[in-house]
Amino acid sequence: MPLTPSWLDSANSPDTDFPLNNLPYGVFSTDTLGSRCGVAIGNMILDVTTAEAQGIIDLTDEPLFELPFWNDLMEQGPAVWTALRNRLTALLAKGSKDQALLEPLLVPLADATLHMPFVVSEFTDFYAGRHHATNVGTMFRGPENALPPNWLHMPIGYNGRASSVVVSGTDIRRPWGQLKSPDHDTPAFLPSRRFDMELEMGAIVGMASDGPLTVDQAEAAIFGYVLLNDWSARDIQAWEYQPLGPFQAKATATSISPWIVTKAALEPFRVPTPKREVELLDHLKDTGPMLYDIDLTASLAPESKHATTITRTNYREMYYSAAQQLAHHSTSGCPMNVGDLLGSGTISGPTKPERGSLLELSWGGKEPITLDTGQTRTFLEDGDAVTLAGHAQGEGYRIGFGTCAGTIRPALKNPYKR
């Protein structure tokens, strides 16, 4: 699919993340405007809340954009999702008769503060990237037992904390927790020493359900995608995770990018899941190309230093798609809510430069990586800034996600010390 030209010149640049083909949804404010819904287009944001108030966008009997989140639109379902995208495309397309109406509603991206784009109902994180799971399993169990026996049969996941999902740009405080050294019989309460990032994608559920979903029904229920960094305290995790899995190690924060890229924008970039080594059960079988060709990077910048790209990978490396994750999630009858967030799991490729976490890049801390500054890292240090970025490449345009960034701040003083 070629670029759809817009009357806004910056939207026609091959380097912008936000051409007319994209139209991602976010929430923004400025010095003079309170938090409101907006759509990124080129180097601007269209104030959708005001466009609806002025009758330029009129989709339903009740307003959808009075409140600063996109959940109200999600609840309307795919027909209204499509109607909004079609209306926005018509308004912003080259030759539109509505250009004069829209121009006063455009706000420079550079002048805006971006906020959480939706209310997160629940957060579930998966472990669905084969290269990542193989790397981690090899480190801890050896290559013969790298994958758990269930891994090739279903997407493994755990229920996380919706309350600690934050928008890009939010500082991340190094967590305290119980750390257990192999050399000591008892744990100590200390700040995490092996704090890590995880390069993931997040899928947003746009339709509620109350019973098992097929893969195709799950696919239809997904509203859009964000970049996701599931910050992880590896030393806390190593002590706590047996037998029930991650808990406090994953509860510090999960950062997401501020723009929801819709499924419709990603449609031209569908690719198949990998060849199956083991036939999946009926409720998980592939029904078509359910992944996307999205180039992903992670960079690390020490405090007051230039950034180094430490990872280059692609979303197509996942073993299970978001639709398969959602379908499996629903099999128990678990109700799924509008605004549920599903983390893909760390996205790693087959080679070292494609590994999506420092745990893998430094091979458990045994092989420090060297940054462009000459500094080395095994895990994150205070002041380090991690930035995720991603885009799907089209013919003369790109469908971008913006960035997902967070900076590590020192742990608070021990709140329990007497």
Catalytic residue positions, numbered:
132
Q: Which residues of 381-398 are buried (b: 16+ CB within 10 A; e: fewer)?
A: eeebbbbbbbbbebeebb
Task: Return the sign of the alpha-carbon dihedral for residues 365, 368, 369, 375.
Answer: positive
Q: Alpha helix (H) ranges present in 170-270?
A: 215-221, 234-240, 263-266
Gap between the Cα atoms of 203 and 216, Å rounded: 15
CA 351 to chain CA mean position, Å: 22
* Structure-token pair, residue 318: 């996942």
Closest CA to 340 of 198, 224, 216, 250: 224
Closest CA to 266 of 21, 84, 13: 21
Residue 84, sorted as left (phi over 0), alpha (psi -120 to 50) or beta, turns out to be alpha
110 phi/psi in degrees, rounded to 5: -65, -20
CA 110 to chain CA mean position, Å: 22
Q: Which residues of 100-139 are buried (b: 16+ CB within 10 A; e: fewer)?
A: eebeebbbebeebebbbbbbbbbbbbbbbbbbbbbbbbbb
Partnered with residue 392 across adjacent β-strands are 399
CA 352 to chain CA mean position, Å: 22
Secondary structure element (H or E) that encloses residue 298, with its range:
strand 295-301
DSSP state of 374: S
DSSP state of 243: T
